[in-house]
Structures are given as C-alpha cells and as structure tokens.
Amino acid sequence: MPFSSLSEIKTRLDAGETSAVEVAKSYLDRIAAHNNTLNAFVHIDPEHVLAQAEASDKYRSKHEARPLEGLPIAVKDIFCTQDGPTQCCSNILKDFHAPYDAHVITKLKEAGAVLVGKTNMDEFAMGSSTETSAFGPCRNPWNTDTIPGGSSGGSASAVAAALTPAALGTDTGGSIRQPASLCGITGLKPTYGRVSRRGIIAFASSLDQAGPMTRTVKDSAMITAAISGHDSADATSVTDAPGISSLNEWLAACDKTDMKGLKIGRPKEYFVDGMDDAVRTTVEAALKQCEELGAEIVDISLPHTKYAVAVYYVIAPSEASANLSRYDGVRFGHRCDNPEDLLDMYTRSRDEGFGSEVKRRILTGAFALSSGYYDAYYLKAQQVRTLIQQDFIKAFEQVDIIATPTSPVTAFKLGEKTDDPLTMYLSDIFTIAVNLAGLPGLSQPCGFADNMPVGLQWIAPAWQEDTLLGAASAYESATDWTAKTPEAFGGGAT
C-alpha cells in the first residue's frame, strides 16, 4: 500500500482486493510511525477516519462506488471542516471549530473520500517553507534537515512520505506547485474560478485557489474533477466554466503518451542568472525529453515577469490586511485576558494571536492601501498585473503551453532564510505570475539535483486544464520520476 497512487488504490478497492478500512489503517499506521519526524499532520482523529472508512465500505456494498469511494485524502489546515479543528496553523484560531464544511470538503465527501486529517502549513498560508506554522516547522522527507516548501508543505511532505496518497492544498502564489516541486510530487493549481473558495480561510481573495497534491497526474485529475464546479455561494466561482467538466473528460486528458504537434514555450525570463545550475540542467534535460516525444520548443518572452514578485507582494498583503481584519477577539478566535478596553482587546488579541510573518504582511498591506499611497502602490500593482496577463495572452498566440522550472532552487535548510524575508519571497519567483494571471499550472517531478527533487512547471491558457494534463501525462509516461520515493521512509532510492 505505501507509495501507491490514488488510482492504484482505487483499482484494488473496485476489484475487492482490499477494503476502505484496511487502506485507512495502513495509512494511519504510517502516520503514527513517521509524523513525529516530519510534523506533516497537525490534527488526526483515527477513530473518525476509521468510521468514515467503515461507512464507505457499507456504501460500496449497497450502491455503485462513487468516484473517490474509500480513498484517503488529507486536507490543509486552511479548509473549514465541521469534524475537528480548523486553525490555519495560527494561535489566533487555536482550537477553532468551523460551523460548516468548505465547499470542496463537501464535494470530497459526496465523492466518497475518506478525510484523513489536517496538514501543516505556513500560518494563514503566508510563507514558502512551512516554518511560520504555530505548530512548528514541517520537514522534507527527502532530507529532514530541509524545508518541504510552502505554504502547503504539510500536504506535500505527507504525500511524498506516503502518509497519505493524496492531499488538498491551496495556491496563492505557488503554494501547491512549489512544495510539490521540492518534495518530488505532482501539484495542480486549477484556473481561478474553477474551484469554489467558500470555506477556505482567505489570504488573498483574487489569488487563492484550491487544488490537489498527488503522486501522479491522473490522481490530480481525479481530485480536481471531484472538487470543481459552480458554487452559488461564492461570487468568484464561475457559473459555466469552459473546457473539460466530467470525470471521464478529466481522465481522458491524461491518456496522452506523446507530444506530437505540441508547441511548448520556453520563456527566457525563467532561465535566469542566480538559478541553481543543477536545476537548470535538469529542466533543460526534461525539455529535451519533450522534444523526443514530438514537441516543438519555441523560445518566447514574458517581459513583465520581472515585476511579478513586486506586484504580488503589494496585492497579496493588501488583500490579506483586509481579510484578516475580522480576527479581532470579538466574534471568534483568540481573545486576550482581562482587556482594559475595546482597543486594548483588539490590539493585544491580534498581537498575541498572529505570528511575525502575518504581522509583517498585514502592515505592508495596510500601508499600500492607506490614504495617499493607494494609487502609488495598490493601483499601480493592479495595472502591472494586467500587463503580466497580457504577456501570457500574447505568448499563447505562439504556443500551446509553457514549460518552466517550478523553483529556482531545490529545498533549502530549515532556518536558512527565516531571517531574510525578501530572499524567502523570491522562492516563488517562477510561480507567482500564474496566480496573477489566473491561469492553470502544474508541477511534476523531472529529476534530481544534489539528491533533491526538481519540478517541471506547466502553464496553460485559462480553462485548458486538458492541455496541461495531456502534456504532463505524456512526460510522465516517458519517465520514471514519479516512481522515485524517499528511501528513509520505506521508498526506493533515487
């Protein structure tokens, strides 16, 4: 069972070779054995997990199996769930229990999934290393002295170490794709608006998007098909999303085994000085493999990419400062002891509850939105965001899909960049523009540099997840990188 893909487990369940309870027990055993080392999970309720699995087995015995029947899936601690706490790995939400399920959680339950538990993350998804978590840092199973990426680092670490076959993450500036790259798994960020944001604790409302983190491309397609769809209670959810919609269409997109006729854009701005030489070599080798599969590599330019990090770190903190104003100690969350007055309660509750990185971004955003600075910073950032979007539109007039490194470096040491937030922010330099443009992106393993995983990022036009999945599936079928697993956790050597 360990290191099996979601689709492999589904095949065994459908054939009656195992049961949902047996599958759940095998992963609970691995969590018990390894989570103390990795700190990938921040909440587990084994009895509730087994109760879900038993209910799934009973359902299967009486009805046709649902798309994710009996399959274990972990969820980032940013999704509201009625079962267990939802804390966003922040002291300000410690022991908070949501009164409702996030829309994607409801969709997973309707599809028959067994929810395993909540995974570790950067506090309020603000970070690139899962070191800002109030529950302590998470570790990378390929080298436990290194970070797993962030903010969905717990989900990535758990999948890479086979503590779960799949997990949900959220991606605001690369927080699915970057940790997927650093942990050697597959991570998919859907087009903005394809998946409902209702019940996801907001960081930056115009950027946040939920998506799967899995072993294989097909597994990501299975989960995205289940969680996609219009939600009338979410104003950012698209009513009739173009492109693929049914499960069969999502799975059919994963049947590609070649790239004949595919034009792949290679943006010069993503192969820059300062990028790790071994990462560059590994990604170039992956592009060469794509050529052997029949693709044409076309050099392109995305000239406004150089502004993406600056634009993101104006827009995202600005939206965060507004979203996090609701945590005031009045309605829910942490409240300080014995406040002198209302202002003291607000001030001390927020000071005690929020970590340093969250405070930094709230202050940055509040400044950018303040009177006299809004036009100079936030409005200007939104104007440049439009230019970044237009770059992609022009590029897709020349090519079908774009391929880049996911991260300029492999996983760095724990604590290496915590005192240098600006350097930490550059960790997402290759992923941020995708969120600013609202496009779908996918990271998949494409090799190793210094024995650490390297990710290949695919970027497709809006609503063309089928193109994204087709290219990634063709590359996956011609390589064996998804079969590489951390030896220290019972996997095969690199």
| Residues designated as active site | 76, 151, 175
Angle between helical axes of 217-227 and 6-14 (0-180°, round to 10): 80
In the block, residue with structure tokens 């049961």: 19
In degrees rounded to 5, what are phi and psi of residue 263?
-100, 120
SS3 breakdown of the chain: % helix, strand, coil, rounded to 5? 45, 15, 40
CA distance 236 to 234: 5
Torsion of CA 88, 94, 96, 102, to 10 degrees: 10
Beta strand pairing call for 210-214 and 186-189: antiparallel
Two structure tokens written together for 225: 């098909």
Give the amino acid at 344: D
Residue 9 C-beta-side C-alpha neighbours within 13 Å: 32
In the block, residue with structure tokens 């597959």: 186
Contact 26, 2 (CB under 8 A): yes
Instruction: Name the residue among 181, 131, 208 with its Cα closest to residue 410.
Output: 181
Residue 262 C-beta-side C-alpha neighbours within 13 Å: 29
Sequence-separated (6 or more) residues with CB below 8 Å from residue 317: 204, 361, 362, 364, 365, 368
Instruction: Name the residue among 214, 187, 162, 217 with its Cα closest to residue 487.
Output: 162
CA distance 210 to 78: 10
CA distance 358 to 134: 11
Q: Is 17 exposed, middle or buried (0-12, 13-18, 19+ CB in 10 A)?
A: exposed
In degrees rounded to 5, what are phi and psi of residue 111?
-85, -5
